[in-house]
């Protein structure tokens, strides 16, 4: 076992420390965020920080890295028109999705460079990813600055949702296995996921035997 104190973490070589810290939140979801610029360029970027904020109203958030470091097209586009899409990443195009994180110029589209197809649904402003089976269109409702590291929590309300009927289970939830969703560890490793079990709602007075 290795224990890192705060000082030892700080003294770890920069790249190694970043890789270690980036793995600590565990497996993360892989999503592509689609936006459109004021001049109509379709933008796409991979984000692993998408998080459920609440079901009613239906809200999802994601963490935007500091915008001082580099121009962030996703951020600029959302600020200019208020809309974005979140598209799940499946095994069949995880490599295409990964390379959307490369830096492209304002007038270049990651859709073209990374072999993915923009799709427009129900007149929604921002582009969806045609290859993705689970996709939603959101309107920015809140932007929360995280002052401890200059990141921003961007929160959107789902305005449109597209899912395959076969992936919805009787209780309403989505079966992420049948659409082959992937998850990510660190910033560069993609994993297939297999379901272990579904459990009943946990109640204090109805616990099964949990002895190991």
Footprint of ligand FMN on this chain (CB under 6 A)?
A: 43, 45-49, 62-65, 72-74, 98, 101, 103, 184, 187
CA distances for 183 relative to 15, 113, 123, 156, 192, angstroms: 22, 23, 30, 21, 7
Ramachandran bin of 82, using left for φ above 0, alpha for ψ from -120 to 50, beta for the remaining angles: left
Nearest to 174 by CA among 135, 118, 128: 135
**For residue 137, what is the enclosing H or E element?**
strand 135-146
Nearest to 74 by CA among 181, 148, 154: 154
Minimum CB distance to ligand FMN, residue 15 (Å): 15
Tokens of 151: 């990141």
Minimum CB distance to ligand FMN, residue 149 (Å): 12
Nearer to ligand FMN, 49 or 117 (CB): 49
For 45, the 3-state DSSP assignment is strand
Nearer to ligand FMN, 101 or 162 (CB): 101
Would you say 41 and 2 are in contact if contact means Cβ atoms under 8 Å apart? no
Nearer to ligand FMN, 14 or 212 (CB): 14
Minimum CB distance to ligand FMN, residue 192 (Å): 16
Nearer to ligand FMN, 60 or 184 (CB): 184
Nearer to ligand FMN, 37 or 117 (CB): 37
Minimum CB distance to ligand FMN, residue 29 (Å): 10
Minimum CB distance to ligand FMN, residue 99 (Å): 8
């Amino acid at each position: 076992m290795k224990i890192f104190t705060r000082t030892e973490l700080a003294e770890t070589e920069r790249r190694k420390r970043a890789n270690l810290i980036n793995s600590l939140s565990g497996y993360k979801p892989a999503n592509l965020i689609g936006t459109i610029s004021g001049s109509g360029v379709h933008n796409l970027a991979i984000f692993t920080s998408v998080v459920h904020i609440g079901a009613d109203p239906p809200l999802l958030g994601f963490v935007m890295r500091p915008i001082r470091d580099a121009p962030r097209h996703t951020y600029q586009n959302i600020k200019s028109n208020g809309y974005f899409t979140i598209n799940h990443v499946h095994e069949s195009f995880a490599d295409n999705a990964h390379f959307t994180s490369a830096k492209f110029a304002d007038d270049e589209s990651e859709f073209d460079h990374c072999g993915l197809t923009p799709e427009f649904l129900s007149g929604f402003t921002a582009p969806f990813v045609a290859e993705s089976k689970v996709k939603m269109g959101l309107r920015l409702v809140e932007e929360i600055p995280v002052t401890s590291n200059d990141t921003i929590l961007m929160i959107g309300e789902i305005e449109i949702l597209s899912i395959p009927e076969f992936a919805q289970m009787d209780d309403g939830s989505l079966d992420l296995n049948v659409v082959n969703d992937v998850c990510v560890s660190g910033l560069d490793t993609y994993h297939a996921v297999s379901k272990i079990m579904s459990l009943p709602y946990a109640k204090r007075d109805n616990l099964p035997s949990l002895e190991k």
